[in-house]
Structure 1
Amino acid sequence: MNQVLQELQPRLANIFNHLHQHPEVSWQEHNTTQYIANLLREANMEPHLFEDMTGLYVDIGKGTPKVGFRTDIDALWQEVNGVFQANHSCGHDGHMTMAIGTALLLKDMEHLLSGAVRILFQPAEEKAQGAHAFVEKGIIDDLKYLFGVHVRPLKELQDGTYAPALYHGAAKLFTGTIIGEETHGARPELGINVIEVGAAIVEGLQKIWTDPNISASVKMTQFNAGGTSTNIIPGKATFSIDARAQTNEVMEVITEGMERVKASVEAMYGAKIFLQVDAHIVAAIVNDEALQHMRAAITDVVGEKACAPPVVTPGGEDFHFYTYERPKLKATMLGLGCGVTPGLHHPQMTFNQDRLLIGVNIITRAILRAL
């Protein structure tokens, strides 16, 4: 396997460069999907694409796949050097490269596999929608194990170290509208000032109490009200709220607290508040058996000293939606310590690409152990 890996290295470097230079945002990954599909076809694999969405998957080996590996394929939309554009600043270009490398490696040893493996190339991770779409299509229904990977910043993992699990937190992104009553600035008693309503919501959010031993936060991140006239009390506003919690249970407490805040502020001001969840990212549900397979694979490849403890991180990942919806699925994510700097989602994010080949080796061995 090591010889095949070394032969793969220059090819994977070219694949990474192409993916890095051709990013596409969530649900628009059309060229990315076709590029990956063509690579797999060239290697005598039969990728499965969808008529109604981007993304794909491929099965390697005989029988019904029981072990899977998932990568995300979308990029962020952000300002880079003064220009808004699609940008791979979350490492999905590296994740795709490792998934393709794993598929090529498994295909080379297909005659030795004791079962089938499914590689999932999932769209729209950044919108927290892609995993849900794959679950709806039944793509993971037959799987017993599912592995993933994510590059990690130096703050969490030193370059050249690898973690067998990533404990991401939960996140909910809300948008809302406040309907008050517009009136003249000289007669505030005749109106309902939505700015004051918004301030009451902010104050209410600060009174949502959760377990102090578990990291959590809830805060308003956007608020828009009023026009260009300063003598009009505005009667309509829109806002956004970002909620984070390290566990799904604490996120439920926050959600219930927000409903109480909404009801009490409506009653206090006589306003109408409409609130909806735009994105829900669940906290990690890591299976110990899958974690042990990943830890053993890391030790096999790089030794015990380079095997770091599982990482607890406040960031979110929609990979965990698979286990949230399918609790019997045994899953974990590999944390790839590759010197991500200045940090994830930074427009100039870079990392040590030499670690991608090691990632392929670890992922492949974890899959073989699960088989």
Structure 2
Amino acid sequence: MIEAVKTAVKDMQEKMVSCRRDIHKHPEPGWTEFRTASLVAERLSELGYELRLGEEAIDREMMMGVPSAEKLAEEMQRAEKEGAKKEWLMQMTGGLTGIVAVKKFSEDGPVVALRFDMDANDVQESRASNHFPQQEGFCSLHGQAMHACGHDGHTTVGLAVAEILAAHQDRLKGTVKLVFQPAEEGVRGARAMVENGDVDDVDYMLGAHFGFKMKHTGTIACNVTGFLATSKYDIHFAGKPAHAGAAPEQGKNALLAAACAALNLHAIPRHSQGASRINVGKLIAGSGRNVVADKAYMAIETRGASSGINAFMEQEALRIIKAAAAMYDVEVQIEKTGGAAGGSNSPELASFLEAKAKELAIFTVVAEQCDFGASEDFSYFMERVQNHGGKAAYMMIGADLAAGHHDSSFDFDEKAMGYAANMLAYSVVSLLLQGEEI
């Protein structure tokens, strides 16, 4: 199978480049991936996969950081104008843009799942003459939206892997699940798919990302550790305005409540059992120099080396915010807009993947271990599968980068898609064909 996979990927390279550039040209941020998801659904349907869309794939109650109904409707209309088929769009109303594609093979075997994220960033893409997408005519057509993290490549690789598996379905055993996830940016989307039960029957779960700490095409890390659990919150304080000179006692100062909360949030003790983080990333308050501020807004996040440590930081943060509001006698509204679990690769699966990477003999470097040191909501899938007795692993596929992730000049070497498709397809085939557990 190894040569069959390599040949298939080689033959698909031009198709992958074309697909990636089309997706890059039409970027869609979290929960608005209507065109992208429709493209994915159309192709997977053609390949004979059983599709689960809409509320069959997403738990609506678990969605975080969803745009307004007006924004969703606007994005859906644009997707249709840009070629998305209405039959798919109607199943995604309300931002339900996740897809689970399932193919059961003729013989019993393990359930193997892969996650591919589809969303873009809220970034205005560079129009500099030396920016490759600008040079080649596939720059973003959408204002303040750009694939600045490589998810256009991830989605493309997912479709390539789907095609390879479908072509060899008569030789495979068990079941494959391809999870195309919305809203990874801001760690908003995975929980709604996990809580829907999408991976509860999975034995092996794989995820991958271009770049990060593997910055050169042809390199790979199969044992990624140190996912930081995180929680994201929007905080709105509502007080009462008053004339700051004539009647200050009649006001209730939301600005001071927010400032009090911000200072004391950074006073939460660090945790003895691992890394812990707190950050107030934004604080906007008040309306005028001579007015007691009646409103304030904060954007905050917590992080922890484990889900338990992050839960400690989260609970302390919420306690402090509520106490600050009570101290200044103002109302407070707390909205959770994102989150991810902590975790690390299952060691046995990581070792298996490392062996497969070496068998492929295409990588110049197969790193033994890579500390992630950040958050990615694949960790929700990882945690759920591991808690149900399965194994999960996340890989970093090396790619030469034009600029850092989320930068307006970001771009990645498109040859990296071939490396990723080889690695993921061969790993899945190997897991489906092997007769004994890892």
User: Same fold by TM (over 0.5)?
Assistant: yes
Of the candidates 263, 266, 290, which is equivalent to residue 231 of structure 1? 290
CA distance in 1, matches of 2:375, 2:222: 17
Aligned equivalent of 1:276, options 318, 331, 335 = 335
Q: Tell me the alpha carbon deviations over residues 124-156 of structure 1, each in whole angstroms, 9 at most, x when there is no partner.
A: 222534322323443222211110111123x55
Runs of 4+ in 1 over 6 A off after TM superposition: none
SS in 1 for 2:187: coil
Over 3 Å counting, the alpha-carbon distance change for 1:49 and 1:205 in structure 2 is closer
- Judging changes above 3 Å, is the alpha-carbon distance between structure 1 residues 259 and 10 closer, same or farther for their aligned structure 2 residues? closer
Q: 1:158 to 1:245 in 2, by over 3 A?
A: farther
In structure 1, what is the equivalent of residue 112 of structure 2?
Answer: 67
Deviation at 1:81, TM superposition (A): 4.2
Alignment of 1:87-166 (within 5 A): 87-153=146-212, 155-166=213-224
Alignment-derived partner of residue 309 in structure 2: 250
Of 308, 311, 325, 2:367 maps to 308
1:275 Cα deviation after fit: 2.6
1:308 Cα deviation from its structure 2 partner? 1.1
Query: Quick one: which amino acid aligns to residue 330 of structure 1?
Result: K
Change (3 A) 1:3 1:181: closer
Q: How does 1:154-233 map to 2 (within 5 A)?
A: 155-167=213-225, 168-186=227-245, 188-211=248-271, 214-227=274-287, 229-233=288-292
1:201, 1:45 → 2: CA distance?
A: 50
Report the Cα distance in structure 2 between the residues aligned to 1:42 and 1:122, rounded to whole angstroms.
20
Structure with the largest fraction of strand = 1
Q: Which residue of 1 aligns with 2:135?
A: none
Aligned residues: 369
2:99 alignment partner AA = L
Cα shift at 1:253: 2.0
Gaps in structure 1 of 5+ consecutive residues: none
- Output the CA distance in 1 between the equivalents of 2:317 and 2:52: 42
Distance 2:31 2:331 in 1: 33
Q: In structure 1, give the amino acid aligned to 2:318.
A: E
1:304/1:159 CA distance change after superposition, 3 Å: closer
Distance change (3 Å), C-alpha of 1:357 and 1:287 = same
Deviation at 1:357, TM superposition (A): 1.0
Counterpart selection for 2:411 from 344, 350, 368: 350
- Counterpart in 1 of 2:37? 33
- In structure 2, C-alpha distance between the alignment counterparts of 1:188 and 1:207, rounded to whole Å: 29
TM-score for both structures, normalised by structure 1: 0.89
After TM superposition, the structure 1 stretch with the greater mean CA deviation from structure 2, 120-129 or 44-53, is 44-53
CA gap of 1:79–1:213, structure 2 versus 1, over 3 A, is farther
Cα drift, residue 213 of structure 1: 7.6
C-alpha separation in 2, matches of 1:30 and 1:190: 49
Tell me whether 1:78 sits opposite 2:153 in the alignment: no
Residues 96 and 196 of structure 1, relative CA distance in 2, 3 Å threshold: same
Q: CA deviation at 1:190?
A: 4.7
Matched residue type, 1:362: M
C-alpha distance after superposition, 1:143-199 (max 9, x if no partner): 11110111123x554432101133432221111122334332225455433222222
Q: In the alignment, is the contact (CA less than 8 A) between 1:210 and 1:250 conserved in 2?
A: no
2:424 corresponds to: 363
Aligned partner of 2:15 in structure 1 is 11
CA RMSD after TM alignment: 2.6
Q: Which of 33, 44, 57 is the matching residue for 2:100?
A: 57
Question: 1: CA distance between counterparts of 2:48 and 2:337?
Answer: 40
Judge conservation of contact 2:110–2:173 (CA < 8 Å) in 1: no
Q: Distance in 1 between matches of 2:292 and 2:235?
A: 19
Q: In structure 1, what is the Cα distance between the partners aligned to 2:48 and 2:232?
A: 42
Distance in 2 between the 1:10 and 1:81 partners? 25
Amino acid at match of 2:417: L
Per-residue deviation, 1:251:
0.9
Percent identity over paired residues = 25
**Other-structure match for 2:393:** 332
Asked whether the 8 Å contact 1:301–1:358 carries over to 2, the reply is: no
Deviates more, 1:353-362 or 1:14-23: 14-23
SS in structure 2 at match of 1:66? strand
Measured after TM superposition, the shift of residue 263 of structure 1 is 4.5
Matched to 2:147, the amino acid is H
> Aligned with 1:118: secondary structure?
strand
**TM-score normalised to the size of structure 2?**
0.76
CA contact (8 A) 2:199 2:384 kept: no
